[in-house]
Structure 1
Amino acid sequence: MATLEIDRVKKSYGQMDVLKEVSISVGDGDFLVLLGPSGCGKSTLLNMIAGLEDITAGEIRIAGEVVNDLSPKDRDIAMVFQSYALYPTMTVRQNIEFGMKIRGVPAAERAKATQAAADMLQMGHLLDRRPSQLSGGQRQRVAMGRAVVREPKLFLFDEPLSNLDAKLRVDMRTEIKRLHQRLGTTIVYVTHDQIEAMTLATRIAVMKDGIVQHFGPPQEVYDRPANTYVARFVGSPAMNIIPATLHVGADGRAEAAVSLPSGEARIAGIALSAAALKGYHGQKVLLGIRPEHFSLTAGAGLAVQIDVVEPTGPDTLAVFTMGGTEVIARLEPFAAAAGDRLALAVKEDKVVIFDAATETRLD
């Protein structure tokens, strides 16, 4: 196991800055997910950790050692690629053993390590097959097995599930989670899939345009996003961002006035610091409300008219308008149609307030 420290790291190509002073620190055995859309810099950062890309400025430290100038083979890492990168003419056993063979590991030790990795990843019956005889999920298991036998300080995963269908992605997520639990090794994992990030990570770094927008535990990123970009990127359906006006309620807590087609409604009892409430009293803000934080409640203060109903089985998505913007509520299954009116309540303690101009969260 090893710590990983990314200290004010920059990457530039000529005048174009791809990474802009990224700083991330994770401890022994952490599972760090670099999350963001294509072009945000997450794969570039992973390649810099691996030694496949040069660093323009800053430091990367693995287990306390600065690795900026170390070659990939001297960093004690193992990488699992999106494309599997298996040798097509070799068997599974030979693919897993190959790196150990190059390093001069004795045959008996190679065989023992290969069998242990195969047993861990439930692929002992595949050892004598070639990659062309395997499914996508099986090939990814082989790539993982090849990484496991190295016993590295750090595992690096570069969008390893992107080529798999939906069911296989779910299965392989479980395998990767199980692998991390068994080995306890520090992992850095790149993905654009927020479900993968939430289910696998102990720490998430949400990236945009070469900048870390939010770094923290998954639940914190989900419940208390640093800004509206993170709020919209993490979660499906995304967090609703609704224009409103902030007031001091009768209980001294924040109260948001929001417009509805039928008139104005108020959401009372929102948790906000006294300093923030004083500074934003009477000001325009943005409310962040997750779809699941609405509920059907007779006589509740939000009287809305449904535009679209989307039954999903375990719940029903209701689409309506608040604050002049489209809002989605995830509700318990119910019979309704477009045009019906609903009385909704909001979990006030789950509401997040953002500055209307900077779109950053208020505390």
Structure 2
Amino acid sequence: MSTLEIDRVRKSYGHLEVLKEVSISIGTGDFLVLLGPSGCGKSTLLNMIAGLETITGGEVRIAGKMVNDLSPKDRDIAMVFQSYALYPTMTVRQNIEFGMKIRKVQQAERDKAVRSAAELLQISHLLDRKPSQLSGGQRQRVAMGRAIVRQPKLFLFDEPLSNLDAKLRVDMRTEIKRLHARLGTTIVYVTHDQIEAMTLATRVAVMKDGVVQHLDDPQKVYDRPANVYVARFVGSPSMNIIPGQLEVDGTAVSAVVEVPNRPAARISGIPMSAAAATTYAGKKVLIGIRPEHFSVATAGGSSIIRIDVDVVEPTGPDALVVFQLGGVEVTARLPPKQATAGAEASLSVDTSKMVLFDVQTEARID
């Protein structure tokens, strides 16, 4: 049985449709990340799961039970907010146990739950402090501790790391991943940060304008994005989307791409089904290439692309090399000192990792 089922859920505010028949199902122990830019509907969907927003249409089921009309306290969930939502006049211990106290849990049981959560989150030494005496990362641990002691069927995280600095975000990502591994909890996590999505999720739902564009495990979303929007949103730098023309000769498929001030480049050995090759032979396509799938061409190699380097951005372990291809700006991730701005470079492409998209629909071609 799925822990969470979102079945054709819609949300409208008058004539404004915010969510458009969203369907997602995750099992016990899954870590689902709702990923997308501001305004895509991800936080609205999380609030509907929590019971903080009414549902216009469809059903939300938790552990097989339809919860559309249940209040938040009756849904067996725990939520961790972006703002921590801690009581400033209470100690850490009092904040963590507050929900149990309201539910009239016995003191001995409360003490045991607080100790266990504090040890798990490494905040035992902070139990007698007030929130004002804590750092942002410590406050977020307290908020997670308050959620853990409830032992709910479902944890909901609403952009919990967005208020932290870059270094602390990395540390807290590790803490949340470790927490998920130890507890085996089911988590729904909202973020606009695709690095968080890739590192934390077992399932990613990429959203745009109230529609789930792609739902899959993170690596599949990265390697085989469902459409151009997903390809550009997931990855840093994002996938290069290059216009080209497909040519088919028997079973051999290649793409011809315009190169400024040079003869067109031919990229050969593109894997493609026979049906798709027949459909798109001689037609314009969009070619998706991740920056790391370029490499410096070796002598005698095939499908060599000769380009003029515009910009080189050293990052330490590698360098981002920017050039023009197919009339658009393209980025390659290469080893350091392999290219020089203003000079020529010869590159090859790992065609096994290329993804093709339809020019009109922008959907992936399989």
TM-score normalized with structure 1 length: 0.98
Counterpart of 1:101 in 2: which secondary structure?
helix
Residue equivalent to 1:255 = 254
Aligned AA for 1:23?
S
Residue equivalent to 1:358 = 361
Matched, 1:312 2:311: no
Which whole-Å CA distance do the structure 1 matches of 2:239 and 2:129 have between them?
46
Residue equivalent to 2:8 = 8
Residue equivalent to 2:129 = 129
Which whole-Å CA distance do the structure 2 matches of 1:21 and 1:220 have between them?
23
Output the aligned Cα RMSD: 1.0
Residue equivalent to 1:281 = 281
Aligned AA for 1:259?
E
Which whole-Å CA distance do the structure 1 matches of 2:266 and 2:249 have between them?
10
Aligned AA for 2:13?
Y
Change (3 A) 1:351 1:179: same
Structure 2 segments unaligned to the other structure (5+ residues): none
Which whole-Å CA distance do the structure 1 matches of 2:77 and 2:105 have between them?
17
| Contact 2:4–2:25 under 8 Å retained in 1 | yes
Aligned AA for 1:339?
G
Aligned AA for 2:259?
L
| Contact 2:339–2:345 under 8 Å retained in 1 | no
Structure 1 segments unaligned to the other structure (5+ residues): none
Matched, 1:332 2:335: yes
Shift of 1:337: 2.5
Which whole-Å CA distance do the structure 1 matches of 2:111 and 2:268 have between them?
65
TM-score normalized with structure 2 length: 0.97
Which whole-Å CA distance do the structure 2 matches of 1:325 and 1:200 have between them?
32
Aligned AA for 2:360?
A
| Contact 1:2–1:186 under 8 Å retained in 2 | no
| Contact 1:253–1:272 under 8 Å retained in 2 | no
Shift of 1:333: 1.1
The aligned runs of 1:201-220 (5 Å cut-off) are 201-220=201-220
Counterpart of 2:171 in 1: which secondary structure?
helix
Residue-by-residue CA offset, 1:254-306 (whole Å, 9 max, x unaligned): 21111112111111111111111100000000000000000012334111110
| Contact 2:321–2:339 under 8 Å retained in 1 | no
Aligned AA for 2:323?
F
The aligned runs of 1:157-176 (5 Å cut-off) are 157-176=157-176
Which whole-Å CA distance do the structure 2 matches of 1:343 and 1:249 have between them?
25
The aligned runs of 1:109-188 (5 Å cut-off) are 109-188=109-188
Shift of 1:3: 1.2
Counterpart of 1:152 in 2: which secondary structure?
coil
Which whole-Å CA distance do the structure 1 matches of 2:14 and 2:338 have between them?
59
| Contact 1:2–1:153 under 8 Å retained in 2 | no
Which whole-Å CA distance do the structure 1 matches of 2:54 and 2:291 have between them?
43
| Contact 2:2–2:25 under 8 Å retained in 1 | no
Counterpart of 1:69 in 2: which secondary structure?
coil
Percent identical among aligned pairs is 74
Aligned AA for 2:14?
G
Residue equivalent to 1:322 = 325
Residue equivalent to 1:98 = 98
Counterpart of 1:307 in 2: which secondary structure?
strand
Shift of 1:315: 0.3
